[in-house]
Structures are given as C-alpha cells and as structure tokens.
Amino acid sequence: MDIQFIGENLLPGKLGQFFIVLSFVASLLSTISYFLAVKNKDEQNKSWTKLGRIGFLVNVGSIIGIGITLFYLILNHYFEYYYVYHHSSKTLPVYYIVSAFWEGQEGSFWLWAFWQSILGAILIWKAKTWENGVMTVIAFSQVFLTSMLLGVEIFGQRIGSSPFILLREAEDLKSMAPVVFADPENFKNYLKFIVDGKGLNPLLQNYWMVIHPPTLFLGFASMVVPFAYGIAALWTRRYKDWVKPVLPWTLFAVMILGTGIIMGSFWAYEALNFGGFWAWDPVENASIIPWLTLIAGVHVLIAYKNTGHAFFTAMALMLMSFILVLYASFLTRSGILGDTSVHSFTDLGMFGHLIAYILAFVIISVYFITTRWNELPITHKDEETYSREFWMFIGALVVTVACLQVIVTTSYPVFNKIFGTSKLLSNPIEYYNKWQAGFAFLVTLISGFSQYLKYKRTDPRRFYSSLISSIVFSIVLTALFVYFTKVYTKPMYILLTFSCLFAILSNARLLTGVFSSKGSKLAGSAIAHIGFAVLLLGALVAAATSKPVSINESNFIAVKDFEKNQKPGENIMLYKNEPKKMGNYTITYVSDTTIEPNTFYKLNFKVFDKEGKVKEDFDVNPSIQENGKMGLIASPDTKHYLTTDIYTHITSAAEKKEEHGDHEGHSEEENYKAPRIVTLAVGDTIHTSSGVLTVNPINRNPVVKDLKLAPGDLAIGLPLEVNVSGKIYKTEPLFLVKGNNTFDFARKIEELGLRLRFTKVLPDQNKFEVQVYEKPQQAKDWIVFKSIEFPFINLYWVGTIIMVVGFLISIFRRKKELKTS
Amino acid sequence: MRKSAIIGLITIAICIGFLVSLNAETDTYSNFIEASSSNKEEHVIGHWEKNKGTHYDALKDPNHFAFYMKDEKGDVKKVVLNGTKPQDFERSEKLVVIGKMENETFYASKILMKCPSKYNDEMVEISQDGQVKPYKKS
C-alpha cells in the first residue's frame, strides 16, 4: 500500500535526479563520440567531434543543474531530503550553506565533477588538434564521476549515491521513533516531527572551509588534464609535441593543488586543535602524494623538452599522478582508513565502484604504454653527471621515493585489510618527519646546486668554483639562523636549515639577472624554488621549536612516580578573574560570552618587565561549542607576531551539568534553586533564564505509561514550550487526581536546566499553577587551557605565497612558448 | 657499472630501508596482561567500563583523568591519562590507550577514541512530545 506523505516537495529532487542521469548519459555519449572522432581518419568529417562537444556541453549544463537544485534544497531547508537533513540546519548562516553543500561525499563528488566539466569546456575551446584525444579521456573520467552520483539500483547493486535521496528512503523512520510513527497518521505527517536538520559539523563552520574544498578539488580535477594529454600523445603517436601544451596545464595543477593543500593546513591550524599545521593525517597525505609525483613529473618533462632524454619517466609520472589522485579518493572515501584518520568519509558502499575507477585508468595507461613501447622515444644513453637534466632527474627520483614512503605508510590500513593483520603505527608523526626530513634535505640541496649546471654539459671546474661562494655564504647564514631560532637540537635540523638556505641563495642568484632575457625565463622556477625552501624552513623551525607555554608549574599529580614516565602537565587551570603566571605571561580569564552555539572565552595575556611595567598586553578569544553531534568542540585562537605565534585552545571548562540523582538523602530538587510558583493561563508567557516559556492549550487525555485511571480519576497534561532564540523545546508536566489525592509528574528539559511541575488547577480563574525550577549558576567559573608557541610560522605562509607566485610566472612563460612556437 | 644501474640500486636500497623500518615501527595491539610485562609503550584496545565512572577534577589537577577500561580479554584496569579529559569521552565506543602499565594501573600518554564516527551521523530519536534527540543505542 502506498502511503501518501504530507508536505513533501518531491519535484526538485526528481529534477535533480533527472540532471544526474542526463549528465551521466551525456558524458557517456561524449566519450563514445570523441573516441570515434579519434578513430576517424577522414580529416574533413567533423561530425563525431561535434557530437562529442554537444554531449560534453550538455554534461556541463546538467552538472550545473544538479548544483543549483541541491543548493535550492539546502537553502529552503527541505529536510525530507537525506542530504539536506544531515548536512544543514535552519540556524546555519547562508555563507556556511556553501560548506554544507560539500560536507558530504555526494557534494564533494559534485564539486570534482563540476571542475572537471569546466576544464573540459575550456579544453574544447583551446585544445585545437588535441581536442579529440584529450576529451575522450576527460569525458570518460566524467562518466565515472557522474556515475558516483547516480544512486540507482542495477541488478540489485546500488551504483553511486545520489544527493537527492529522501530521508524516509534512506533511513527507517519507524525504527527511529517507534512510538510516534506506529500511528499511521503521524507517519504520514512525519515531516512535522522533523523540526530541524542535523546541522553542519562545527569544524567545518570556518571561512577556510568555504574556500579550501573548491581549491583542492580544482587541483584534483586539473590533474586529469596532463593525464589526458599523455594518453592522447601515446594514442595518436605524437610523442614530441605534447610537451608544450601539457606544461602550462601541469604547472596549473601543481599550483592549485599546492594552494589547496596549504589552505587546508591553514584551516587545521586556525580551526582544529590538532596542535599544528601538518599532522600527517591520511587525508593530508592523500592530497600531497599526487602533488609530489606531479612536481617530479614537471621537472622530468622540462628535462625531456630540453634534452630529449627521459621521455618514459616524464610520461609515467604524468599518468601515475592522476592514478594516485584516484587512489587518494579511494583511501578517503571507501572507509578503509577507518579509525586511523579523523576526517575520512564514511563508507557509502562505493568500495567496488572506486576500485573500478582506478582500475579503468590503470588499464588504459598500461595498454597504451605496452602497445606503443617499441616506438617510444626512449634513449639509452647515460646523462652527463655535470648536466642539469641529470640532477633534475635525480631530484624527481628523490621526490618520487619520498612520495612512495608516504604512500606505503599511509596505506597500511589497506595492507591490514588485505593480509588480515592489525598492525598500527605507534608514532606516525615522528616517523614521517624522520624520513621526510632526509628527503627534503636532498631535494633542496639538488634544487640549489643544479642551478649552477647547464643542460647537456657543464665544465666541472667552473661549476665548483661558482658553487663555492654560495656554500660558504650559506654556512655562515645557517650558523646565524640556527643560533637565533634555536633549532640546533638535532643535527638533521641543522643540515636541513643549511640545504634550505643554500637553495634560497642559489635560486636568488638567478634573480639578479632577471631583466636579461635569459634571467627572466628562469624567474618563475627560481621564485617557486625559493618559496618552497622558505616554506620548508618555516615548517622546520615551527615543528622543531614549538613548545607548550602553558606548563603546569605546580605539576601536582596525585599518583606517585607519575612524573617519571610522563611529560609535565601542559594544561593550566584558571579561575575567572584570578591571574596566574605562566612562563613570561600573566594570564587572566576575564570573561565568557555565549553566542549560540559557541562560547567564547576572553583570556588576557600580559608580560611585565623587571620594573613591573606592562610590556605587552593582548587578549585571545578561543571558543568551544557544545554540539549534539560531536560533543565539545574547541576552536583555538592565535596571537600572531611577526616572528612567533601564541596558539591557545580550551581543553576543558566548567560544566553546567553536575547534579545529584534522586536517591536516598538527596532529592531532585537539591539541584535547583527554590522554585518560582506562578499561575498562568493558556497563551501566557513567562521569562526564564534560558528563554521564553509559553503555555499551550491543555491536553485532557495524556498518555502515561503504567498508569491506570479509574472512572472518576482525572489526568491533565499541560503542554509548555520554551523558545531559546528560535529553538523550541517542548515538554508536558502532568496533573493527576486519583481517588481523593492529587499528584503531579514533573518534567525536565535537561538542556536548559529547567524542571517544571504542574501543581494545581484553578478552575474558577481558568488558570494553572506551575512551579518553575531553575539550576543555579556555577559558584565559580573555570577553564583549563593549553597554549603552544610556534616560532617563525610566518615563514611557512610566506613561503607558500612566494611559491604560488613562482608557479604563476612559470605558467605565463610556458603559455607564451606555446604561442610563439 | 652504468650510472643508472647504480642509482637504481641506491633507490631500491632506500625503499627496502623504509619498508624494514616501517615494519619495525609498527606494532600490534596488546592487552593489559602483556602490557604489564612490557617495558615499552603499548597500545591496549578496549572499552570504557561505564559503571565505574570517570574521575576528572580540573580544580585539583587539570592534567589527571582516570577511568576504568575493560580490555579485549575482559580484564578491567584503572587507566590514568596525563592530560585533560578528552572531549566526548562518554560517547566513545572503543578506546585505544597508549602508555605503560605499572602496578596494576595503566599510565596513558595518549588516548584514541572511536566514537560513533565523527562524520557519521548517528540516529535520531523523536520522543513522544515531538522533540528530536540523538538516538542512544542501549
């Protein structure tokens, strides 16, 4: 029997689903047409290309259609849709609706498909002779991405997951609230019971989350372009001339993905209490792996362009990078990472689907490489040791090996799954840092001295003599730098400082000739190298010398010998308005303000000089959010100086919930202040400390479990609602006349610390007596917080900006080359 | 010997190097009995023994959080964390405590919690009066 549900808006969902199917079919059509266009040998006949274009543009249109529909649903709070219900709420500000849009898997797949379709459209316009081959690959990739959104069942197997699924289809409403929905009338009207959505994960309620995912996904999406050019080059046997068009695209992908990754790192630093900017979390690793291989790919490609060597390596790195993007999305989206990562998505049953996506593109790559193997322009000559291409090649190799280390380590949950083991990494961050520091040392060293080498061959004596001054100068600078930043605790730190400074100097030397034609050509790469080295230096100093400043000086721990195997405490407790000394700082917990749903704590930091005068005085405002979905969420606040950051987050705060149970010797009421006794009529309102209480018409037939009413007995329910800045809490205390006695059943609203009794009926006045119990404020508020000092972290951000500028310059240069040739 | 061969060998050597070191750095989960006889940091998997509650008094010491945990073998031991009470501790389904065992008490330097997934949304319960609440299993 079909149930007619009331109040649902089904049309937009149907429209959205139609767009999904249309985009899938259109991309399939486009793939086939472009494929036949490549196969077609008749130069004059462009009909297949035209059909491919139409297919792809329809795909672009319908992808935009999906986006608009989904946005419309979220904006209008249509909670009958699963996606809307789970990712947004009515209280969500409009600008965060954008982040709600891509909180879920489906939304992020849409974002990816959207960028890929835009890039495809640009390629249709710009790729000229490459269009057919390149677009076949991109449209094929689009087939996979759109199929992830399909959410239709084929042979009992659900393909993809649609954002337009209804809540009642996705979840068993009846099991959610068996009592209410047992009544078919209520069930039909289920939407009435769904007051609000689940809301957006509070960690994502940050302005970086509005901008970081689109950038990252544009980066991921643009990785398909070098791949597509690579396949097209192999397919149509244009081994030489793919280099020029692919270079700007590759640089673009590297630049955007790099920016996206660092934005994520900035978000982690600003909003998450990871206690840092990089945690080697699997999701972070998954995005940096393809970035590293593509960086290696760019270098080998340039070497190939200039010398004709290393064609195969360049091609392999290009192809591999995209496959690694797919692997990364498999890791984060299949649920395989399980509990090793804080921010992997949950499994939506896409395990097989994601593997199919990877396999399809691996097979394409392997097929073309093997069938073309004998024709590939592979040289068998060893490169000169004193040549730039040789060291570019070695540099790329180091990057690839570094990347391999990250892949293997990140993938151990995959190995666990395959071999049925349950291995775990005890100290991942240290482990990664240990290995990656070594690789970073080699890479920066090579990026420094290879600037003194020419392509083909350099005279060794000239090479060494020009190198020596930079080395000496770098050593002096290293000594100064290490002394001032105090990173001399480990030899590896000193080595890395040296290699970074050396890279900066060697590349900066190229910039002196920037106004000559040769110098300006190299400016882009030199600036990007400098940026990268500065970034590493910033990461090194911040990671090596960051230290908690909130050292618990009393360090009182009740357990004997506890300190022996533990670090001294890094958290400090503060009472409101009682200053405490912490290192140089005197800290006061000044006040707190609650702006639903966040509570902001104002902490004042002061530094006094020897005479007791205030040298520095600033406030930080870390916040916590009591969130039904995730519990207590702490967001740090940071005081930025030019040379250091003071990063503070709340680890614990006075809870307003402690209470006595209703057991012997204690009564419930001890938890509350003395009640207010009020007489109210229907429609009356009174103010409580948490919100406005309204009396609704009485309920003459309240249902009470285990209560038998004899004839003559009377039970009345008094429905009350409390409005807390728009959020409604309902409850219904009972009044009962049984035999000759009156009873009442109190009701509590835990969240508001309210207890309500319905104690008397005053029939002559048509009023009711209600007792309002409220909880007292805590006697004294306190917080526990942790502060960490990050010295020189600004180098990390500055380095990023320099690097992006370098990439931009390079892109323009390579584009110019494309035009002039 | 050709240069490329030498480079290839070095690369392979490095790769083997990190595979070996990865194997050395990884560990398997242990339990309280194994942990008591071990000198290094152990990862013990288990779940919070709810009826014994938790002890955290920030007023006394903000870096001391104690509770009882039942490991996979069924042993219940006291666990002391040098740190604040983790957010959302009560909601944890599974715990991994990392630290050392001493005199029947496990001193943890770190606790990993498996909550009903931070990104996974748990069920909701719509109570009789139409109020929507998170659905609590058991």
- Are the Cβ atoms of B7 and A394 closer than 8 angstroms? yes
The answer to whether B19 faces chain A, any CB pair under 8 Å, is: yes
Q: How confident is the model at residue A502 (pLDDT cuts 50, 70, 90)?
A: very high
- Kindly list the residues from chain A whose CB atom is less than 8 angstroms away from the CB atom of residue B126: 176-177, 180-181, 193-194
In angstroms, the CA A173 to CA A178 distance is: 8
Q: How confident is the model at residue A345 (pLDDT cuts 50, 70, 90)?
A: low
Tokens 């930080």: give the residue.
Answer: A620
Residues B110 and B98: beta-carbon distance below 8 Å: yes
Question: Closest Cα of chain B to A426: distance in Å?
Answer: 6
The answer to whether B16 faces chain A, any CB pair under 8 Å, is: no
In angstroms, the CA B119 to CA B100 distance is: 31
Residues A79 and A100: beta-carbon distance below 8 Å: no
Interface test with chain B among A79, A401, A782, by most B beta carbons within 10 Å: A401
Q: How confident is the model at residue B62 (pLDDT cuts 50, 70, 90)?
A: confident
Does residue A370 surpass a pLDDT of 60? yes
Interface test with chain A among B30, B42, B118, by most A beta carbons within 10 Å: B118
Question: Closest Cα of chain B to A103: distance in Å?
Answer: 9
Interface test with chain B among A171, A339, A728, by most B beta carbons within 10 Å: A339
Interface test with chain A among B7, B43, B63, by most A beta carbons within 10 Å: B63
Question: Closest Cα of chain A to B45: distance in Å?
Answer: 12
Give chain B's domains with CATH numbers.
28-114 (2.40.50.140)
Does residue B123 surpass a pLDDT of 60? no
Question: Closest Cα of chain B to A52: distance in Å?
Answer: 39
Q: Which residues in chain B (45-64) have CB-CB distances under 8 A to chain A?
A: 56, 58-64
Supply the pLDDT for residue B115. 55
In chain B, whose CA is at the least distance from the CA of A786?
A: B84
Mean pLDDT calculated for residue range B131-135: 36
3-state secondary structure A440-501: HHHHHHHHHHHHHCCCCCCCHHHHHHHHHHHHHHHHHHHHHHHHHHCCCCCHHHHHHHHHHH
DSSP secondary structure letters along A243-305? HHHHHHHHHHHHHHHHHHHHHHHHHHHHHS-SSSS----HHHHHHHHHHHHHHHHHHHHHHHH
Supply the pLDDT for residue A216. 93
- Are the Cβ atoms of A423 and B27 closer than 8 angstroms? yes
Nearest-by-Cβ selection for A730 from B14, B99, B130: B130
Question: Is A436 in a helix, a strand, or coil?
Answer: helix
A176-223 pLDDT, tens digit per residue, is: 777 777 788 888 888 877 778 877 777 677 777 788 899 999 999 999
In angstroms, the CA A806 to CA A787 distance is: 35
Supply the pLDDT for residue A529. 95
Tokens 């695209």: give the residue.
Answer: A249
Alpha helix ranges (H) inside A10-104: 11-39, 47-75, 82-87, 94-101
Looking at every residue in chain B, the average pLDDT score rounds to 73
Q: How confident is the model at residue A694 (pLDDT cuts 50, 70, 90)?
A: confident
A144-153 pLDDT, tens digit per residue, is: 999 999 988 7
Mean pLDDT calculated for residue range A739-751: 77
- Are the Cβ atoms of A176 and B64 closer than 8 angstroms? no
Q: Which residues in chain B (91-120) have CB-CB distances under 8 A to chain A?
A: 91, 94, 98-100, 102, 105, 107, 109, 112, 114-115, 117-120
A314-337 pLDDT, tens digit per residue, is: 999 999 999 999 998 888 887 777
Does residue A133 surpass a pLDDT of 70? yes
Question: Closest Cα of chain B to A557: distance in Å?
Answer: 7
Q: How confident is the model at residue A396 (pLDDT cuts 50, 70, 90)?
A: very high
Q: How confident is the model at residue A309 (pLDDT cuts 50, 70, 90)?
A: confident
In chain B, whose CA is at the least distance from the CA of A564?
A: B107
Nearest-by-Cβ selection for B118 from A179, A394, A630: A630
- Kindly list the residues from chain B whose CB atom is less than 8 angstroms away from the CB atom of residue A172: none
- Kindly list the residues from chain B whose CB atom is less than 8 angstroms away from the CB atom of residue A300: none
Residues A623 and A634: beta-carbon distance below 8 Å: yes
A18-62 pLDDT, tens digit per residue, is: 999 999 999 999 999 999 999 988 878 899 999 999 999 999 999
CB pairs under 8 A between A and B: 166
- Are the Cβ atoms of B128 and A179 closer than 8 angstroms? yes
Please name the amino acid found at residue A670: E
Tokens 């199917």: give the residue.
Answer: A21
- Kindly list the residues from chain A whose CB atom is less than 8 angstroms away from the CB atom of residue B21: 431, 435
Q: At what angle do helices A388-410 and A311-333 cross, to 10 degrees?
A: 20
A541-569 pLDDT, tens digit per residue, is: 988 888 888 776 554 433 334 344 344 56
Is residue A151 left, alpha or beta, with left meaning phi > 0 and alpha meaning psi from -120 to 50? left
Minimum mean pLDDT among A38-47, A282-291, A493-502, A655-664: which range? A655-664
- Kindly list the residues from chain A whose CB atom is less than 8 angstroms away from the CB atom of residue B63: 552, 557, 569-571
Cα dist from A419 to A255, A413, A422, B43, whole Å: 38, 10, 9, 20
3-state secondary structure A206-237: CHHHHHHHHHHHHHHHHCHHHHHHHHHHHHCC
Looking at every residue in chain A, the average pLDDT score rounds to 84
Does residue A784 surpass a pLDDT of 90? no
